[in-house]
Amino acid sequence: MPGPEPGGALPLVFENVCFDAGGARRLHDVSCRLEAGSLSVLVGPNGGGKSLFLRLAAGLLPASAGRVRWLGPSPAAGSSAIVLQRPVLLRRSVRANLAYPLRLAGVPREEAAGRITRVLAATRLSELAERPARRLSVGEQQRVALAQAGVRQPAVLLLDEPAAALDPGATGALEAAVRALRADDVKVVMSTHDLGQARRMADEVLFLHRGRLLEQTPAEAFFQEPKSPEARKFLAGEILG
């Protein structure tokens, strides 16, 4: 499936991004570059700011301070699609769910049909295409949500704990679908609290704790020798205060 031009809009850059809500600062001065190609995984304890980070990257929330920018050679091509932790599918077939964002984006019908067929195959949903999406299992629904995001051919695919509610079999199917979408040069940024999944998937790790980005490190280095004491405790299974 032809994806976005590698590096067209990327890197996606966070410049001193802060986010305030309920009178408190939830994200503190986050700066990082998300380059094309690698699969970036956000890890950290609950409440650390992973979901906020992804929503800011998706443009669903505005930064209270700082900014999120596309700095690639063609920033106009910058687009992202996010899969929420609890995706809400429409009360229609799987195929119609995939067609919906394409119709919103004004993609011509013929091109949309082709893209949908390819994404259904990549995410192994072809046989379920005409089934009502809300009648599927949780794992299948999560893959539909992934396909719904992937069919838009975004520069960055943002996944918010996509396997949080899945059993090992469904998690394996989801990870295979993510890899299939990545084969089309889509940049993937995903959050997880499952360190096993992070080890399997990550090229680089961003460790967030209490709304601060404590490190952005290649995955191997992070798991062998994390820089921050918080990350060391987290990897050791200690409860972080």
Partner 1 sequence: MSGLGDAFHTAFRLLLSWDPELAEIVWLSVEVSAAALALAAVFGLPLGALLGIARFPGRRFVVAATNALFGLPAVVVGLVVYMLLSRSGPLGSLALLFTPTAMVIAQTLLITPLIVALTRQVIEDLHTEYGEQLRAHGAGTFRAVPTLLVEGRFALATVLLAGFGRAISAVGAVIIVGGNIAHVTRVMPTAIALETSRGELALALGLGILLLGISWAVAAAAELAREVARRAGA
**Out of 60, 71, 138, 183, the residue judged to bind partner 1 by CB under 8 A:** 60
When the beta carbons of 134 and 200 are compared against partner 1, the nearer one is: 134
Whose structure tokens read 């809009």? 9
170-171-175 Cα angle (round to 5): 120
Residue type present at position 100: Y
Beta bridge partners of 55: none
Q: Spell out, one character per residue from 84 to 123, where the chain touches partner 1: x when CB under 8 A holds, - when not.
A: x--xx-xxx-------xx--xx------------------
When the beta carbons of 156 and 202 are compared against partner 1, the nearer one is: 156
When the beta carbons of 102 and 174 are compared against partner 1, the nearer one is: 102
- Encoding tokens for residue 116? 């949908």
Number of residues that bind partner 1 (CB under 8 A): 19
When the beta carbons of 60 and 221 are compared against partner 1, the nearer one is: 60
**Out of 10, 27, 32, 58, the residue judged to bind partner 1 by CB under 8 A:** 58
Instruction: Restricting to residues 124-163, name those near partner 1 by CB under 8 A.
Output: 131-132, 134-135, 148
CA–CA separation, 114 and 149 (whole Å): 15
Rule CB under 8 A: say whether 21 interacts with partner 1: no
Which one of the spans 9-17, 32-40, 76-84, 181-189 is the region binding partner 1 (CB under 8 A)? 76-84
Whose structure tokens read 């920033």? 75
When the beta carbons of 107 and 198 are compared against partner 1, the nearer one is: 107
The alpha carbon of residue 3 and the mean position of all alpha carbons in its chain are separated, in whole angstroms, by 16
Closest CA to 35 of 150, 185, 169: 185
Kind of pairing between the strands at 187-191 and 39-43: parallel
- Sheet with 80-83: strands ordered across: 80-83, 156-160, 187-191, 39-43, 204-209, 212-218
Q: Which residues bind partner 1 (CB under 8 A)?
A: 58, 60, 81-82, 84, 87-88, 90-92, 100-101, 104-105, 131-132, 134-135, 148
